[in-house]
Copies of this chain bind each other. A is one copy, B any other.
Amino acid sequence: MGYDKEVDGIGVIVLASVTALGGGTLRDILLDEPIFWIDQVYYLYSTYIAILLTILSIRHVSRLSQNYLLFFDAVGLGLFNIIGIEKSLINETGMVVAITMGVTTGVFGGLIRDVICKEIPLVMRGELYATACIAGGLVYAALLYAGAPYAWCILGALFTTVFLRLGAIHWGWQPKLYRKKNPG
């Protein structure tokens, strides 16, 4: 996160905090819930500790373990997505709002990070970030309406999101809804 960019150490911490907490923060603002890391402050502590551990260990991260990072990133995306959906449903929003909240929670932290780093945001470039969240949300909704047990809804949504995201990385899946004007 920002590792190759020309940022200083504290900048990395700010950037990593925004990435980790940004999506959930926006979700809580939109739902008018107390912000989760202010309400339950151990979220903030564990974020800072995780960031410091990452910075301390980063020179030992080899190419091999990058695959682990991508795997945990995909699992994190899936979990953030489900947390967003459920927190939204608890607030008695409809399912369309809930799926939107899932995407928001999963995607906006990384979107803000990419905007700050002046990258074209990942969510805009394909790689099935938002798509994987939406698909997971649709599976969650389908299983819920079909009367499936609660654990199935969670696991189905999680599996769908992680599978699509990892598939996008591994096999280069990419959605194409419109035709480009120029191939450039």
**A interface with B by C-beta (< 8 Å):** 2-15, 17, 25, 29-32, 34-35, 37-38, 41, 44-45, 48, 55, 58-59, 93-94, 96-97, 100, 103, 107, 111, 115-118, 120-121, 123-126, 128, 130-131, 134, 174-179, 181-182
Query: Residue of B at shortest CB range from A133?
Result: B10
Complex Cα–Cα for A143 and B134 (A): 47
Closest-CB distance, A41 to chain B (whole angstroms): 5
Interchain CB contact (< 8 A) of A116 among B45, B124, B128: B124
Query: Residue of B at shortest CB range from A130?
Result: B10
Which residues of B have CB within 8 Å of A4? 181-182
Are A124's CB and B45's CB within 8 A? no
Q: Beyond A10-B134, A45-B96, A115-B116: 16 further Cβ-contacts under 8 Å? A: A6-B120, A7-B125, A8-B124, A8-B131, A8-B174, A8-B177, A9-B176, A10-B175, A11-B121, A11-B123, A11-B124, A11-B125, A14-B123, A25-B30, A31-B38, A41-B93
Could you show 21 A-B contacts with beta carbons less than 8 Å apart?
A5-B120, A5-B124, A7-B126, A8-B126, A9-B175, A10-B123, A10-B128, A11-B124, A13-B130, A14-B103, A15-B124, A17-B100, A32-B32, A38-B93, A38-B97, A41-B93, A55-B177, A55-B178, A59-B178, A116-B124, A117-B124
